[in-house]
Amino acid sequence: MSIMTLDPVERMLDAAENGITLIKNRDILHYTYMPDTILHRDSEQEQVTQSLIPILKHSRPSNLLVYGKPGTGKTLVVKKILSKIQSRVEKSKFPIKLIYANSKEETTLYGLLVSFGRQLGLNEKELPSTGLAISEVFKRLLKIIDSNQLNAVFVIDEIDYLAHLISKTGKDILYQLTRANERLTQGSLTLVGISNDLTFKERLDPRVLSSLGEEEIVFTNYSVEQIRKILEGRIEQALVKNAIEEAALNLCSAMAGREHGDARRAIDLLRVASEIAEREQKTSINEDHIRMAGQKIEENKEVTSLQSYPLHEKILIIAVMKTSELSTGGIYTAYKTLCKTVRQQELTQRRVTQMLSEIELSGLITGRIIHQGIHGRTKKYKLTISPNTIKETFKDDLTFEDIL
């Protein structure tokens, strides 16, 4: 037997080339894939189209808010309609610019506005990636809309996250965006907000709300049966024949259906389960593969979330882990001690309280208000993830070796 056949890399590559293949088109198992037909969303597609039709008649559409839980097809429907309008616009003389950005992916207010600027055609020199005041960035966006007489539609996905960014910076860009048309002499600006949070409106300034929510469309959750149909469509295109067992398909639909009727989660489960089954060189995906996929997705989500935090947020998460359901004051004391150990200058209690609220938004910790009679109220926090996940994620970070 040659040494080569024992090489683990060669063995895996051989299996990939000559072994069992379950996936014939991976792109179709990604949530960003745009299917030709969007199932169970006819009424919503009609409503969004109706709302944006005025732009094809050379007038400004109303601002639109699209609501629904994650994985209910909001982004898919809006993007499909934008691309259909875009293909018609290219044949007309009326200058329309359709622009999309996700406020969670941009992470800062400045980054979000620069993303809009780039799509409007502003280069680095005309709009630097850093260094300007937010008001100046905004002025330059309006200037290019005005000078080119553009009729722009800004689609802001996860607009609830933008509202959170605004509350952190105090720069109410949403108010300015909704009032932009008062500052434009030629051209127009329409906002389409997509939100995963139905209570998002409650956090908005009433002045913003009146103009932002001129029209509203709510996407309801998919049923388990509808999710199954969506999966069947993807399976037919993405996997080889008979690649998934009936029971596994039912479990995949049920797991995603239970979680707010989330089709995106169902497709993710299917993709990861396919990869696991293929790696094991199984001829089909079974229920165990779906369960393993569910576990893997949850772990990955938590690890990615933990890794993305700046240093002081990480120290704070470790403080919560070590104190286990203490009040803000108790956590702050633990945080200060950890800062001394890792030789970091501690932040103020006010900033740490703010950071706790931000981490709570991500779901890694949870807080509850405790009433203490004459001593008023306090908030107690605890982890929603296992301490092992935190230790595993941070174990290679030398900064934390003395505190984990």
DSSP of 222-236? PPHHHHHHHHHHHHH
Give residue 5's pLDDT band: very low, low, confident or very high (50, 70, 90): low
Instruction: Kindly state the average pLDDT of the residues 167-176.
Output: 76
CATH ID of 42-218, from 3.30.710.10, 3.60.15.10, 3.40.50.40, 3.40.50.300: 3.40.50.300
Cβ–Cβ under 8 Å, residues 149 and 187: yes
**What proportion of the chain, given as a percentage, has pLDDT over 90?**
56
CA distance 157 to 269: 23
How many CA atoms lie less than 13 Å away from 376 in the CB half-sphere?
Answer: 3
Q: Decide if pLDDT at 178 tops 50.
A: yes
Backbone angles phi and psi of 195, in degrees to 5: -125, 135
Q: Decide if pLDDT at 228 tops 50.
A: yes
Strands 188-195 and 64-67: what pairing? Answer: parallel
Strands 96-102 and 151-157: what pairing? Answer: parallel
Q: What is the pTM of this model?
A: 0.76
Question: pLDDT tens digit string along 15-60?
Answer: 777 778 899 999 999 988 999 899 999 999 999 999 999 998 888 9
Say which CATH class 222-305 falls into: mainly alpha
HEC string of 163-216?
HHHHHHHCCCHHHHHHCHHHHCCCCEEEEEEEECCCCHHHHCCHHHHHHHCCEE
Instruction: Kindly state the average pLDDT of the residues 130-152.
Output: 94
Instruction: Kindly state the average pLDDT of the residues 369-390.
Output: 81
Instruction: Kindly state the average pLDDT of the residues 247-276.
Output: 93
Which of 227, 220, 217 minimizes the C-alpha distance to 39? 227
Question: Do 42-218 and 222-305 come out as alike in CATH topology?
Answer: no
Q: Decide if pLDDT at 374 tops 80.
A: no
- The angle formed by the CA atoms of residues 80, 82 and 86, to the nearest 5 degrees, is 120
Please state the separation of Cα 400 from the chain's center in Å: 29
| Number of residues written out for the chain | 404
Give residue 199's pLDDT band: very low, low, confident or very high (50, 70, 90): confident
Per the prediction, the chain carries an average pLDDT of 89
Q: Give me the CATH code for the 309-400 domain, please.
A: 1.10.10.10
CA distance 111 to 129: 7
More confident residue, 54 or 197: 54
CA distance 367 to 360: 7
Query: Which residue, chain included where needed, has tokens 């696991």?
Result: 276
pLDDT of residue 1: 45
Please state the separation of Cα 257 from the chain's center in Å: 19
Cβ–Cβ under 8 Å, residues 183 and 142: yes
**What proportion of the chain, given as a percentage, has pLDDT over 70?**
96
Domain residue ranges in the chain: 42-218, 222-305, 309-400
pLDDT of residue 324: 66
Which is it for the CA torsion 346, 351, 353, 354, positive or negative?
negative
Question: pLDDT tens digit string along 272-331?
Answer: 999 999 999 999 999 999 999 999 988 888 888 888 888 999 999 999 998 866 888 899
